[in-house]
Amino acid sequence: MKVTLLTHTPEPERVVVAAALLCYQKGDPEKAYARAGNEELRHRLFEELIRQGHGSTLEHSTFTFGIEGVSRACSHQLVRHRLCSYNQQSQRYVDVGAPDYFVKPDSLAADGGRFEEVVGETVQYYRDMIDQFADQGVKGEQAQQDARYIIPNAGKTNLIWTTNLRNLLHVCHVRMCARAQWEIRRLIFACRRAMEPKFPLIAKYMVVKCHPNAFGYCDEEFRSCGFRPKREDVIPEDPDCPPGPGW
């Protein structure tokens, strides 16, 4: 698996902070953007906005990742996050009938070569279908679009994934969790590593939901891994805020 940060909003923290400043000032948007150029103010407000959950401001920044060599099992989990944009390598236009187009989980390392055996048979079946189609004069995507039906979840794929910052943090919260599968966890941790050199302040908040930089407690009722305190250990029973003026 390889993950690259391909491109992003030029000054992602600045536009987020400008959006927040605009809400609380009389001046125009340019003034808010200019004020957000102040590094000390920008860093302080940026962290405050994330901690307060002023999420709409985070939607002004977007990040585009190149994702290479994940399984279709993994990509299917990623694309369930609907508030993002995706493009994925086509199994119609790309011939995927080769042994290196498969992801083998580490947990199957000691299977005595059974995985490779099944992959070999699968690839052979795919190649046979392609040959049969060719004999009928059917080629390219017309042949590949049906031959691909034999490709399992292990089939390898590449994607370009664009997400805004609000959604990126949400995906980190749920997919870095020990409950998520190893491959998508690995993918999202790789996204954070791709962000760290350029955007350490953002990477600081690309954490699992129970991390102190997110909720700070685990909300997995029955399936908690036990690493962090559960919600009821942290949040008291007291149901409402004290009544304010006018109540």
Ligand X SMILES: Cc1cc2nc3c(=O)[nH]c(=O)nc-3n(C[C@H](O)[C@H](O)[C@H](O)COP(=O)(O)OP(=O)(O)OC[C@H]3O[C@@H](n4cnc5c(N)ncnc54)[C@H](O)[C@@H]3O)c2cc1C
User: Which residues make up the interface to ligand X (CB under 6 A)?
Assistant: 80-83, 174-175, 177, 179-180
Active site residues: 175
Q: Minimum Å distance from CB 67 to ligand X?
A: 17
For 237, what's the count of Cα atoms within 13 Å in the CB-facing half-sphere? Answer: 0
Nearer to ligand X, 169 or 195 (CB): 169
- Cβ closest to ligand X, residue 14 vs residue 175: 175
Rounded CA-CA distance 88/92 in Å is 11
- Tell me how crowded residue 119 is: count the other CB atoms within 10 A of its CB: 19
Side chain identity at residue 245, one-letter code: P
Nearer to ligand X, 9 or 77 (CB): 77
Closer to ligand X by Cβ: residue 80 or 114: 80
Q: How far is the CB of 200 from ligand X (least distance, A)?
A: 25
Instruction: Count, in order, helices (H) and strands (E) of the chain.
Output: 10, 4
Runs of H (alpha helix) within 83-181: 114-135, 140-147, 165-175
Q: How far apart are CA 148 and CA 181, in angstroms?
A: 25
3-state secondary structure of 163: strand
Q: Give the C-alpha distances (Å, rounded to integers) separating 35 from 41, 58, 144.
A: 8, 17, 55
Q: Least Å distance between CB 181 and ligand X? A: 8
Residue 136 DSSP SS3:
coil
62: Cα within 13 Å, side-chain hemisphere = 9
CB of 61 to ligand X, least distance (A): 17
